[in-house]
Structure 1
């Protein structure tokens, strides 16, 4: 079984905000694999499906971004998953809007949801897929920026990026992180 985790904040107030690109990408992943309707489990939104003959579990923690690890840990413990079978999809301030980057492991890079997952799992050795949201404009507070909605000019870019991230997660489930990184870490314009 593979676990695909999308990070974000629950509730209508946070829908379509920069911090919720993980939720957006995971929703597309669920649609692509025709996952069962979601239900509440492990303090999050949970769905299951199959891709490439393997069982997939999809989790969007409802513990709010900064406490995401609590939800992830419950699912990992219940299914006795190893870190290599988990991929976390989240936003990244250090990537240009719309760029995606996969890594097999590493630090949280300041992303508080990732940091909490690292703390709860006791390891940085799990794949992560970051979706760029860029740095806040001059004079903006980071919290206001990440909890803000995308501008009209950014929406098309983010739609494409979250779709690309969903396909990258599917690729990861079948060929692993190295091949997926090679294919999806390139600039999306260069891989068409």
Structure 2
């Protein structure tokens, strides 16, 4: 079963933020249990070095619980950092983590939870290549990889392009990759335009 979270092709930390998402029925959590957390991780697995499908296939029930707990904690911290960076005014998007220092501590702890290092492979007659290795169990290694990308995202000017989608009912974030982009997705943009059109048609003639 696939993840219920929208995957918009954003940087991995933003994809994790967006495991909290909204629709007409309210706000939902794609990481609301071990199966949801594993489904999300499998969906983004090709983007997480050096994790493989075999690592996830070997998860025990306790591992799956640990993974869900770690991902939710990092996700909630990320949403607090995103709210700080964007001045997010949306009450429905507020993270359970209220304190900025606490959110930063969660990210740093997650980033250091599993050692990661680069390794060079070079067989005779072949081409040298870089690979990434990680120590620790799969849940910690996976969350550590996302946390490392988080440090890079917020530690660079890219954070200035981070936006909260202000379409009605939306609680997602996105990276503004075009000067004209104002919404997380075409669907949100269409919803805003439809609402504007409806308001204009209902406005009494002067």
Give the alignment's TM-score, normalised by structure 2. Answer: 0.25
Structure of greater relative contact order (alpha carbons < 8 Å, 6+ residues apart): 1
Give the alignment's TM-score, normalised by structure 1. Answer: 0.26
Look at both structures and tell me which one has the larger radius of gyration over its CA atoms. 2
